[in-house]
Amino acid sequence: MLKLRLAVTHTMTLDGPMGYLSCNDVAPLLSSPLMSTAAIFHVSTIPTLLLVAHRAYTWLVPILYRQMNLQYDRQLQGFLGVAQTCPALLQHVREIVLPTGYPPETTAKVFDGLRSCHKLGGLAMLHSHLIHEVVANGLALPPRLSTHLEGLFQQDTAEHGAPPQIQVGTHHLETLLAFRFVTHLDWFDDLTAYKSDDDEEHARQFIIQLPALTHLAVVPFSAENYVDNLAARLPRLRVLVIVWSLSGYLRRRSDDPVLRIAFRDSRVVCSVYDEWYEGMTSGYRSTFWDLAEELVRGKANSTVPENEFWARPPERHSR
């Protein structure tokens, strides 16, 4: 039983495809020679075997559904199948990566399934148009979110006389409500590359108004002092992490000026991510959030120099 549980735990990650477990799938998993022999030759053990099967189901289902990466077609089809046949199982989903490039009817089915993910803790999506779907469906975003937001603020994205995209101002209440639980935001946009100063300011104001935000991750900005100025407008923030991809970090030379970067605000940290959706994950392995918090604590305890701003990746990432 332990071997079975460990095997399923190993395969149920966001990094690769998986199937899904329906309400009728557990019995075949347990029909090993040992279980069959016990049931045939020791009939009195059948109630105990049924109890073991029930407990195994109770153990394995939460593990199986904890993380789902719907970019993989097998996981997407599994999610849609469970949403239709046994939606109660989706209460076990804690982290999910949404697919992109699928037809609207598939997206609609995914959002129908999300309504059953009552305990969702992390969500990742590459395109900001899915935020519009979240708002339109009346859904609240989970505490950890990895996404682009640019499409929410650019007025020139409207076509054929349609109203502009959701703006920060008198008409942004629904969007703020959708973000009301977000504590960790991994924000993929480069604000300094927005098409207009108005779009840039709308985005900044929106981030500043998020009521629960304590952790913000951003891509490297090209403008000088930009990160310090942004951090100064976020007094409730615990850490502001500038994140590089692991491959980009490893390509840099040890004397690269980026590796000696400095900031005025001690909450600003530079770090590295393995996967683009890492910012919305929690609990099963260390992330750049953990590295950043450790560095900020070290500065507060005087165990880390004030001029250190890099939360270095673990040794397995080093050159």
The token pair at 236 is: 């409730």
Question: What integer pLDDT is reported at residue 96 of this predicted model?
Answer: 96
Q: Collect all residues with Cβ–Cβ distance below 8 Å to 291 and sequence separation of at least 6.
A: 269, 271, 311, 312, 313
Question: What integer pLDDT is reported at residue 104 of this predicted model?
Answer: 85
Domain boundaries along the sequence of the chain:
1-120
Question: What integer pLDDT is reported at residue 253 of this predicted model?
Answer: 66
Residues of the chain with pLDDT under 50: 1-12, 20-23, 26-27, 29, 156-171, 316-319
Question: What integer pLDDT is reported at residue 116 of this predicted model?
Answer: 94
Is residue 181 within 8 A of residue 175, CB to CB? The reply is no
Q: Give residue for tokens 């904890």.
A: 66
Question: What integer pLDDT is reported at residue 129 of this predicted model?
Answer: 75
CA distance 154 to 169: 13
Per residue in 29-41, pLDDT tens?
455 677 778 888 8
∠ Cα 177 183 189 (to 5°): 85
CA atoms within 13 A on the CB side of 49: 20
Question: What integer pLDDT is reported at residue 49 of this predicted model?
Answer: 82
Is residue 243 within 8 A of residue 217, CB to CB? The reply is yes
CA distance 47 to 169: 63
Q: Could you tell me which of 88, 81, 134 has the C-alpha nearest to residue 107?
A: 134
